Amino acid sequence: MEAKKRTEIATLGEFGLIDLLTQDFPVRNASTLRSVGDDAAVIMPPAGEAMLCTTDTFFEGIDFDLTYFPLKHLGYKVVTAAVSDLLAMNARPSQLTVSLGVSSKLPVEALQDLYEGIRFACKEQEIDLVGGDTRASMNGLTIGLTALGHAPQEQIVHRSGARQNDLVCLTGNLGAAYMGLRLLEREKRVLSDVKNPEPQFKGYEYLLEKYLKPRPRTDIIEALREEQILPTSMIDLSDGLASDLLQLCKASQCGVRIYLDRIPIARQTSALADEMHMDPVVAALNGGEDYELLFTVPLAMQEQVMRLGLVDVIGHITPASTGAFLVTPDGQDIRLRAQGFPEK
């Protein structure tokens, strides 16, 4: 078997590496006046629109495990995570910077794989790579992204706009990404001492895709615009339904009631949870990394929202004094709890 090519980063030098990684990133947006190759990017949003900015950082060993995470998929996923924050504010993603902390164990070819995933995501989302930085790291791979987007100021959606009786709407299904992670961790543990491991993923391919290559819900934002639906509040689901919903309630100073039998959970999520003796609802509420969108709309827009065919209405907004609760099919109220929020 032919040995895989390995080129040490030192043979290219910092600037040679940057030139190699950032080639084939064409400018797609008129708002990008100057891209990679200068001391700073030059960006001018369309007239009358505001610029939005968000930053995410990912650490090897904490946010991802290179034992089972293909670098191409990792490149795609980190862009999804950054873009999702902009979509949650009803903005159009347009520019991206990527900064790396790279350990000596990674060859040039590994970084090319990472950037291939980034390039694919940028092409798919019509985003311009406009800058970044690359440094040596003593603690494995670190990836930092800053994403920029723009939107008319009156169409920007915040977490703080939910009002009493608004409908709580959710895209996609929940818990699949978390169960995909649990599956990968199980196979890594079981096969740790096997010379030629053959992980067993049959029947759970959807869960792996949801964890390794989640897709940003740009389609939802476009559908809302077409239907002329402007959510009163919105947040992306990166930390789990319970945590993100509590963040929205805190910002909007409101309470909420969501209904257990309305939370969408994929068949593979339930099947693997049953196999692992877990509750799929726990995965949905606390798993995270689904990158779906949670938003609220006035009650009068219920028919418009349902026409989208892409959204489930899972509950409604209540006064802050009533708290945040999950309602079971038999009518029992369970207080929503999440890490980082004080017990009440």
Angle at 161 between CA 284 and CA 31, to 5 degrees: 90
Classify 42 as helix, strand or coil: strand
The H or E element containing residue 124 is helix 108-125
- Angle, in degrees to the nearest 10, between helices 176-190 and 267-275: 40
The predicted model scores a pTM of 0.93
What pLDDT sits at residue 1? 41
Q: How do residues 120-168 score in pLDDT, each as one tens digit?
A: 999 999 999 999 988 888 889 999 999 999 999 999 999 999 999 999 9
SS3 133: strand
Confidence of residue 322 (pLDDT cuts 50, 70, 90): very high
For the chain, the straight-line distance linking the first and the last C-alpha, in angstroms and rounded, comes to 61
Flag whether pLDDT at 297 surpasses 60. yes
Instruction: Give the model confidence (pLDDT) of 254-266 as tens digits.
Output: 999 999 999 999 9
Q: What angle separates helix 108-125 from helix 13-22, to the nearest 10 degrees? A: 40
Collapsing DSSP to helix, strand or coil, 60 comes out as strand
Mean pLDDT calculated for residue range 300-326: 95
Q: Could you give the domains of the chain?
A: 9-155 (3.30.1330.10), 159-335 (3.90.650.10)
Asked if residue 105 has pLDDT above 90, the reply is: no
Q: Rounded to an integer, what distance in angstroms lies between the CA atom of residue 179 and that of residue 177? A: 5
- State yes or no: pLDDT of 15 exceeds 80: no
Q: How far is CA 332 from CA 250, 284, 320, 327, in A?
A: 23, 19, 19, 6
**Lookup: tokens for 333:** 């109220």
For the stretch 24-60, pLDDT in tens is: 899 999 999 999 988 999 999 999 999 999 999 999 9
Separation between Cα atoms, residue 73 and residue 208, nearest integer Å: 11
CA distance 137 to 103: 5
